[in-house]
Structure formats: C-alpha cells, structure tokens
Structure 1
Amino acid sequence: MNTEPDTRQSSLFQTSWQRSWAALGLTPPADLQQRLLAAYAQPQRHYHTQQHLTECLTHFDAVWQQAQRPGEVAMALWFHDAIYDIKAQDNELRSAQWAVQALKNSGATDEICQRVHALIMATCHTAPPTEASIEADAKLLVDIDLAILGASPARFAEYDAQVAAEYAWVPRLVYRFKRKQVLQSFLQRDAIYATPHFHQLLEAQARRNLSQT
C-alpha cells in the first residue's frame, strides 16, 4: 500500500498546526488537533473532509506572507468547517463558537477571538467581506475556501460529486436546481477571487469549470 499521501498530509497538519499557534503566541489544548481532525473525518462528510482542509492549508502555505495576521487566518481555516451537520443552517456559526472557546481556553485576547469568529463567518459566502478589521485577511481566506472552483477539471468533477453525496437526502431535481443556482451565482460575479494571487492563478479555470455546470 502506498502511504505517501497520508504521510504528506500528516506532515502538513503538524507543520501548519504548530506554525499557526506559534504565530498567535499561544499553546493549544493537547487534544484539540486530534478532535478537529476527527470532526473532519466524520462519515456524513464527503467534501468537507480532511482533503478539503489539506487543500486549504496548502493554498495558505503559499500566501502566508500576504496575510495581515497569518495565525488568525490559519486558525480560521482549521475551524471553518469544524462543525458540519448536513441539514443544519448554522454550521459556520457553531464552528466559529468552537474556535472562540478553544482560543479563550488557550489565553487568546478578546480581539483575536472576535477576528477569528468574523473570519470563519465570512466563509458563509453570503457577501464579500467588508469589516475593516479583517477585510484583507477575510478576502484571502474566502479565496482559499473557493479555490476548489478553480481546480483541475478532474478535481472539480470530484468535488461536484462529493457535494452531491453530502446532499443525497435532497430530491435530485431540487438539488440540481439549487446547486446550479449556487454555482451560477459565482459565475455572475465580476470577479470570483478578490485577491490578485488567486485571481491570476484560478479565475480563468474557475470560469471554465463553472460554465460546464
């Protein structure tokens, strides 16, 4: 059996985790990373998994220096899909609340907690981030979360199938209609990606992918 991908993933998780908390000047609870990884491995997940977390952390690794507060962005990435109930409407909120509690338990200031909470809530994708204190970092975070739209055609097709599997409980006609609405809403934006790095890297491919849906 080839375990190389698992080894790379494990190495990424450890490096990112240590770097993120060091950037905040904090020490996490000993079991927190394992609890988070267990959450991302829950059986109801097909897209919002450790694979998605890995892809997000890999993208962030390439733009770490562009973040205003990289430790906070990293923490938001680690927690942004920590809670994922396929029929719930408040996953981001509950994920943000978990992050805040973990940060408070580790001695984070109220300001850090508030900014990480706001960053996670930006991944609802209901509107472009505008809160001044987190705007630049939120744009970076949202672009990372949406990077999958600009993935290779094969990965995008896999992603589309994974999301469909998470919504298998929804009648197919309803799902296909709603899903097309969501994806087309991104295509109708003047720009899918708000940061120069991701716009240059992924915008054209994302539009090609979305135009096929």
Structure 2
Amino acid sequence: MFAVGFKVAEGPLRRAEDQLNSLRGGVFAFGAAAAAAMGAFAVASIKAASDFEKSMSQVQMATGQTDQQMQATKGIAKNLYSQNFGENWQDLGQQISTTAQITGQTGAALENTTKNAMLLGKAFGFEVGESVKTTDTMMRQFGITSDQAMTLLAQGAQKGLDKSGELLDTANEYSNQFKSLGFSATEMFDTLAAGSQNGAFNLDKVGKKRCRL
C-alpha cells in the first residue's frame, strides 16, 4: 500500500475553526457598536428574533422534529450563530435542516456535523449537502464518526484529491466497494491518493480501477 499519511486523528477542520474564531470578536464587536451608534439596536434585535423564529419554523417543517427536539435544535442554531456560522438565520437554518435530513441526527451530533460541514465549505468550497451526504455514507460503511470522515475529506482536499472536483462523489460512490474489499476509510484515501500521485487525473477512474482488481 502506498501510504500518504491519512490520519483520522489530525484536525485540519480545527485550524479552519481557529481562523474563524480569530475574526469573530471583531465582527460582532463592530456590529454591536454600529447598531448602538445608529440607535437601532432594539429594532435590529426585534427583527433578528423574528427571523430566528421564522427560520426555526422552517427547520421543523423540513425535518419533522417534535417540539421537544426543536428546543435542542434552537440551541444548536444559537450556538453556531454565536460562532459566526451562517450568513443569516435563514442560511443557518437551511444547513441544519439539510444535515438533519441526510443523517437523521439530533442534539449534539447534529450540531457537530453541521458545524464541520460548514467548516469544510468555508475552507474548500464544498456544498454542505454534498459533504454531509458523503460523510454519512462513510460513517455507515466504515463505522467511523462524522469528525473522522470529515477530517479525511479535509486532508484529501489539502493533498490535492479534489483537483478534478470529484473527491466527494468518488468517496460517496466507492465507499461501499472499498469496504467490501476489506479496506478501512484511511486505506481508501491512501489508495485514491496513490492513484492521483501516479498520474491519474480522474479520481473516479482510480476508484473504479482499484475496485475491479
């Protein structure tokens, strides 16, 4: 096996999160100061509260969560928003809904997967729905956590495996086949990287060739 050092314990997602955290304080401090200066803080707060409730209603309709489950989901949204995730409440609500629909997760697991998917989006331009779909497939096939799956995707992107824009689709499509051949998630990524570094431009062809051997 040609190994390139994929490790589920490493945290490129954490580095992306650290970059966001370094910006967070200044962004919110400026926003609060500007609102106060214009005397519009109360109006802005009322609108924000209305937008939040509207977004959460949409999440409940999209996911079918009970009122009790929605209490936890509202907490998730507030936690993520306070960390500068989401362009607005509607955007954040959509990402939470998408993650919940694909994974069936609630509570802390839903918050963590949504957060990591949005970090992947900020760092590598992955669509939240696509990265969550691939993550869910990897979790089910290899028995790994969403943290581990998304860390492998982040490492793959860092190592150039998405140069043809096929990383997510390839990992999603071939996870079950690699699993049936006895490969672990890290071994699958090592194999894809080996083919890529040996001159294969199309990642799908690497997966297809290896799974036919």
TM-score of the aligned structures, taking structure 1 as reference length: 0.30
Pick 1 or 2: higher relative contact order, CA cutoff 8 A, min separation 6: 2
Larger Rg, first or second structure (1 or 2): 2
User: When you count helix as a share of all residues, which structure comes out higher?
Assistant: 2
